[in-house]
């Protein structure tokens, strides 16, 4: 396969995520103890789409610091986590060791890892990704093809992510960004933010602590604004079948706009704003010719 688009952009994002991840984890109280005691960082939306994963081989792409990955392992899956951030994977490995929850973690660009897994003929029952994964992808077709290649026949990708419509607005709910991004990166000079501090206890089920104050990321970050048609078409073009698609009028934990209403760990727009899709979920399966 050809080189992924914008490798320099991916490398810039790696540096930005390294800085941000340390700040994010500084706000979370003893995560190892939380997970050891049976805690989970997963939400009902991804659990509902995943179903029973006991005994399944699952790879969690763009797994961040491994909290969700280990929560998935607690449900009986054999899990592998992949993330571009050195800081995130180092933390995930330590968290796995400290909790005694087994998982395998790889520090790699998602495109490089998918290529290497395909060459090794690795196969998985489930590919999982969630909450801020698609916006970091520079090539949707390559991503979807790589996922299809590592899925067993009958295997599926389960993704829950921020809705492209929601990403058109700035923190003041002003329309600020294009829906049709055309694959061009949007540069954020301030880098990956400390969204954990901004979201507070909703994003820290192990308990919130002050941690790093007034975080400023020294490294710029680059995101991609993919519209929904492009995301679903990439999955279809890779030979996958869309089995389920959902839209949700809330963010799980993430306070991305000012004055959001919190209900439990869900964040809704202010009352003055009509409802609109803030997240989506999709399940796409690799056809099994033996069951046709």
* Element of type H or E holding 86: helix 86-99
CA distances from residue 75 to 68, 69, 78, 89, 102 in whole angstroms, order as listed: 11, 10, 9, 21, 12
Any idea what the Cα angle at residue 123 is, between residues 117 and 128, rounded to 5°? 85
The predicted model gives 41-55 an average pLDDT of 97
* Element of type H or E holding 79: strand 78-83
The predicted model gives 273-282 an average pLDDT of 97
The predicted model gives 253-265 an average pLDDT of 95
- How, if at all, do strands 78-83 and 57-61 pair? parallel
Structure tokens at 274: 């009509």
Q: How far apart are CA 192 and CA 79, in angstroms?
A: 26
Structure tokens at 235: 């999955």
Q: How far apart are CA 85 and CA 89, in angstroms?
A: 6
Residues of the chain with pLDDT > 70, as a percent, come to: 98
Higher per-residue pLDDT: 183 or 99: 99
Q: Within 10 Å of residue 45's Cβ, how many Cβ atoms?
A: 19
Residue 5 has pLDDT above 90, yes or no: no
Using the 8-state DSSP alphabet, how is residue 134 labeled?
Answer: G
The predicted model gives 45-68 an average pLDDT of 98
Higher per-residue pLDDT: 264 or 277: 277
Residue 2 has pLDDT above 50, yes or no: no
Q: Within 10 Å of residue 145's Cβ, how many Cβ atoms?
A: 19
Specify the pLDDT at position 183.
Answer: 83
Res. 180 pLDDT band, cuts 50 70 90: very high
Residue 149 has pLDDT above 60, yes or no: yes
Residue 45 has pLDDT above 50, yes or no: yes
Domains of the chain and any CATH numbers: 7-291 (3.40.50.150)
Specify the pLDDT at position 292.
Answer: 56
Query: Is 149 in a helix, a strand, or coil?
Result: helix
Residue 3 has pLDDT above 70, yes or no: no
Q: Within 10 Å of residue 224's Cβ, how many Cβ atoms?
A: 22
- How, if at all, do strands 78-83 and 104-107 pair? parallel
* Element of type H or E holding 61: strand 57-61
Residue 207 has pLDDT above 50, yes or no: yes
- β-bridge mates for residue 262, sequence order: 267
């Amino acid at each position: 396969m050809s080189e992924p688009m914008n490798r320099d952009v991916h490398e810039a994002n790696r540096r930005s995520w390294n800085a941000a991840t340390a700040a994010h984890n500084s706000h979370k109280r003893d995560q190892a103890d939380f997970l050891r005691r049976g805690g989970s960082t997963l939400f009902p939306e991804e659990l509902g789409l995943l179903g029973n994963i006991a005994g399944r081989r699952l790879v969690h792409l763009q797994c961040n610091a491994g909290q969700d990955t280990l929560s998935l392992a607690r449900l009986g899956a054999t899990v592998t986590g992949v993330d571009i951030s050195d800081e995130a994977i180092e933390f995930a490995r330590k968290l796995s060791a400290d909790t005694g929850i087994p998982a395998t973690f790889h520090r790699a660009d998602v495109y490089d890892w998918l290529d290497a897994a395909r060459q090794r003929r690795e196969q998985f029952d489930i590919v999982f990704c969630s909450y801020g994964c698609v916006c970091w992808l520079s090539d949707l077709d390559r991503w979807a093809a790589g996922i299809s290649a590592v899925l067993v026949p009958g295997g599926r990708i389960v993704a829950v992510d921020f809705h492209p419509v929601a990403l058109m607005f700035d923190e003041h709910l002003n329309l600020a960004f294009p829906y049709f991004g055309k694959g061009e990166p949007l540069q954020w000079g301030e880098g990956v933010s400390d969204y954990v501090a901004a979201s507070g206890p909703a994003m820290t089920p192990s308990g919130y602590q002050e941690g790093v104050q007034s975080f400023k990321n020294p490294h710029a970050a680059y995101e991609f604004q993919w519209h929904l048609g492009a995301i679903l078409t990439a999955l279809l073009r890779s030979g996958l079948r869309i089995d389920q698609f959902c839209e949700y009028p809330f963010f799980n934990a993430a306070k991305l706009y000012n004055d959001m209403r919190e209900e439990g760990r869900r964040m809704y727009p202010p009352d003055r704003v009509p409802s609109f899709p803030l997240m989506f979920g999709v399940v796409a399966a690799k056809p099994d010719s033996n069951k046709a």
